[in-house]
Structure 1
Amino acid sequence: ETAIKGLHPLPDFFSQRIYSKITKNSPSYCTKKQWNTWSSENLDWDVGEVFFRTVKEDESEVIVKDDFIPIITSLLQTHPGLEFLSEHKEFQEKYTVTVIARIFYEVDKEGLGHLTRRMCRKRRVWEAFLRAGEEEDINKVMDFFSYEHFYVLYCRFWELDSDRDYKISRADLLKYGDHSLSHAIVDRIFENAPRPFGRRGGEEMGYEDFIYFMLSEENKQNEVAVRYWFECLDIDGDGVLSTMDMKSFYNVQSHRMQCLGHDVVPFEDVLCQMYDLIKPQGKDGVVVSDFLQPECDKVSGALFDALFNLNKYLQFESRDPFLERTKREDEFDNDWDRYACVDYNRLAMEEEQRE
């Protein structure tokens, strides 16, 4: 295994995977003939193809979730930025689960449960793995591998999972974000939200599906999040978010505002404002493609928040133009990276205070 490091274009933590594929997990050594055979079949390609061939099983033409486990396990064993987890097996396991879930969230946008060669090329998945091999600070690898991002996701799940059964109930999820979500949207999350890792419509949500929920909630600008929330809001499943669909959710939202003493903006005014932002192509309502227009990626979240996230909607209504400009000029590429940084610092401070 040590001998083949540097003989392939992938990071060193792929060497164990390559060695296992060459030897078929049986001999304790790799012969020159075995190496020559494998390399002639797999290394005469660009790095993207080598990555795909190395990760997938030889007899398969797609990558499934378990294919990543030995590679991420090797990363955990060798990366200096993850060395501190060596004595924490549970965190190693959850880190592995988190990385895989994040990869599938970003790449498997249709929820097929596997990654094709074309998907990997379109997203250039291997580039994040290359950065993980080069960067000593794993937290600088924002795509998939950041330990801080994992810590935020896992701690949020842990905070909600009061009975420690690694499952989230409707009552648990209602507590998310200081009770920011309406019961109407939480019901729809459990009834109709995409569940790539579990049974759609189940009464409990596992950790991996919670990752999908949280990434979609904290960064509503990406395509996966737009489709996630659209499916939740499209009550009749006709592919059109009608005025009636939106009003049913806003009625719950406005009732909450009224109970808390906030001024309630009439639904018609909210709808007019949002239509000005989204500019839907049709007259019957809003479709997914309306949200996915390039000029709408910064405002689609505002419509979703107006319908079901009270805290974020109130923040949007009272936003400070100076802070908005500052946010546009900061170092973060998206809302998730920004949120994860702030929340990790919060969690770290709380940990220090407990000590």
Structure 2
Amino acid sequence: SLPRLRVKRAHQANPLHAALLDAVHTTITEREAAQLLDHTALDQFWEALCQHAVASGPGAAENDKRLSWDAVCHVRADLPARFAPYLTPAIFLHFQRSERSDISLLQYFNYVLRRASLEEAQAELHAYDRDYDGCLTEAEVQEWISDLVPTLHLQTLNTSFHKFYFYAAARKFFFFLDKSRRDRLPIQAILLSPILTELFELRASDADADAELPREYKRSNWFSSYNTLRVYGQFLNLDADHNGMLSRAELGKYSHGALSNLFLDRLFQEVRTFDRQMDFRGFLDFVLAVENLPTPEAMAYCFRALDMGGRGGLDALTLETLFRAVSEKAHRVFGHEEVPAEDIVNEIFDMVKPATPGVIRLKDLIDSGIGGTVISILIDCRGFHKYDNRD
């Protein structure tokens, strides 16, 4: 059966109150949209800047023009008021100036392009903010992504998979940005996140709408159709009893059984499950964690399982217990030679250099710069084998 998706039922607001909010929301959204710089406006902006820009010197390239503050003032006088916010002293002073106190035309216009793109995204996101609190729920992010789909390079994604694409795409935003687990994301956090940039890299222009993305790029971008089908396929292959959920035993087959039994047992004690079964949303969090171990968010996810005593720190005994589970399974399943746990624990303490001797906390792992490697050693037979056979 299809993977199950557990969703909280939305609170039903008073109809009159909801209608008033919708009217206010629509008015504000339309006002914001009217101020955006579309392609035509950006072309007009570029032409005005070029008219007042000067060559950087004799024999300089055409694309190496400069803008003085006087030139910017002339552009502001020539263009309608909607362009004024992009032609301020603060923006001009943001750029490195030459001895003549002028700045690069290209750098200036690239800034305008990036800002216009962010402002367009901001207006789009606000349109989905139903209660206008500056935040989006996961359902609202999914709705926004569903409306983005026609503009993305997703030609190979069948419409029957769109539902799971929306879940997978939205889940990355929440896994990395919803640190307090409020199930709501500030729009500002979305706009400032590199995750948004990763998603927008799949936006297709009219010229390349039918072009095929490079294979390696599709593999590395979480939002590609290739990646959605990969993760969805993993879930279906693990779901041996076809009930749309993963048991502890079924998840144990992930990565050809390379994760330690102790880590998996602890994971099912710490993460949200339903009758000791993991749904597709939980599996997405799991995949995002194990595939992004060097990130603070992935380390935090795994640390909850590693912290067996719930004391917020890993002492030598805990580290030895965790590593023995890896070493024993690597020997039993993969035929690797067992390694003394004490030696590895000493190496881990030497690498991490915790603030409190003898106890490694999450912050120590993050600050060390090698926290992902340490966690891989403690949960993954292949991760330890890679570490043990490093050059």
Paired letter, 2:165: Y
Q: Which amino acid aligns with 1:281?
A: A
- Counterparts of 1:223-302 in structure 2, within 5 Å, are 223-259=296-332, 261-293=335-367, 296-297=368-369, 299-302=370-373
* Matches of 1:118 and 1:143, distance apart in 2: 22
Structure 2 gap ranges (5+): 1-18, 20-24, 37-117
Query: Are 1:82 and 2:160 counterparts?
Result: no
Cα distance between partner residues in 2 of 1:153 and 1:98:
9
Q: CA deviation at 1:270?
A: 0.2
Shift of 1:124: 5.4
Greater C-alpha Rg = 2
Identity score, percent: 21
**How far apart, in 2, do the equivalents of 1:38 and 1:145 lie?**
27
Distance across 1 between alignment mates of 2:280 and 2:316: 33
Are positions 1:146 and 2:224 aligned together?
A: yes
Tell me if 1:107 matches 2:167: no
**Alignment counterpart, residue 174 of structure 1, candidates 252, 255, 272:** 252
**In the alignment, does 2:388 pair up with 1:317?**
yes
CA contact (8 A) 2:153 2:202 kept: no
Aligned to 2:67: none
Aligned match of 1:211: 284
Aligned to 1:133: 203
Answer yes or no: is the 8 Å Cα contact 1:42–1:53 preserved in 2: no
2:264 maps to: 186
SS at match of 1:248: helix
Distance 1:40 1:59 in 2: 15
CA gap of 1:121–1:89, structure 2 versus 1, over 3 A, is closer
Contact 1:182 1:252 in 2 (8 A): yes
Letter in 2 for 1:268: E
- Of 62, 83, 95, the match for 2:135: 62
Report the alpha carbon displacement of residue 192 of structure 1 after superposing the two structures with TM: 0.8
Gap runs ≥5 in structure 1? 1-23, 25-33, 322-355
Q: Following the alignment from structure 2 to structure 1, what is the Cα–Cα distance between the partners of residues 169 and 265?
A: 27
Q: Distance in 1 between matches of 2:346 and 2:142?
A: 48
Q: Does the aligned pair in 2 maintain the 1:230–1:241 contact within 8 Å?
A: no
Using the TM superposition, give the Cα deviation of residue 112 of structure 1 relative to its aligned residue in structure 2, in angstroms. 1.9
Question: TM-score scaled to structure 1, two decimals?
Answer: 0.69
| Alignment check: 8 A CA contact 1:138 1:146 kept | no
For each residue in 1:249-288, what CA deviation from the matched residue of structure 2 results, as whole angstroms up to 9, or x when unmatched?
2232233344455322211210121122212111131011
Contact between 1:61 and 1:116, CA under 8 Å: does it hold in 2?
yes
Cα shift at 1:146: 1.3
Q: 1:117 aligns with which of 167, 187, 195?
A: 187
Match for residue 145 of structure 2?
72
Supply the distance in 1 between the matched residues of 2:301 and 2:356 (Cα, whole angstroms): 21
8 A contact 2:331–2:337 mirrored in 1: yes
Q: Is the 8 A contact 1:82 1:138 kept in 2?
A: no
SS of residue matched to 1:133: coil
Equivalent pairs, count: 279
What are the equivalent positions in structure 2 for 1:7-18 lying under 5 Å apart? none
Q: Structure 1 residues 220, 80: CA separation in 2 closer, same or farther (over 3 Å shift)? A: closer
CA gap 1:220/1:91 in 2 versus in 1, 3 angstroms: same
Partner of 1:205: helix, strand, or coil? coil
Once the two structures are TM-superposed, the CA of residue 217 in structure 1 deviates from its matched residue by: 1.1
Instruction: Give the alignment's Cα RMSD to 1 decimal.
Output: 3.0
What residue in structure 2 maps to residue 303 of structure 1? 374
Q: CA deviation at 1:41?
A: 5.3
User: Secondary structure at the residue paired with 2:356?
Assistant: coil
Q: Is the contact made by 2:221 and 2:227 (CA closer than 8 Å) also made in structure 1? A: no
Cα distance, 1:40–1:241 mapped onto 2, change above 3 Å: same
Change (3 A) 1:255 1:51: same
Q: Is the 8 A contact 1:217 1:225 kept in 2?
A: yes
1:165 to 220, 228, 243: 243
